[in-house]
Amino acid sequence: MTKRIGFKDMRVGLRYVCVRRSKDGSVQRGDHLWVTEDGYLMCPESGGWINPDCVESATKWMRVTIDEKWLNLQLSHSQQQVRLLSKAKREFYGKVDTVHTRTGCR
pTM to 2 decimals?
Answer: 0.75
Q: In this predicted model, what pLDDT tens digit does every residue of 47-102 receive, in sequence order?
A: 899 999 999 999 999 999 999 999 999 999 999 988 888 888 888 877 545 555 55
- As a whole number of angstroms, the distance between CA 63 and CA 80 comes to 32
**Cβ distance 64 to 4 under 8 Å?**
yes
Q: Cα–Cα distance between 7 and 23 in angstroms, integer?
A: 13
pLDDT tens, residue by residue, 34-61: 999 999 999 999 889 999 999 999 999 9
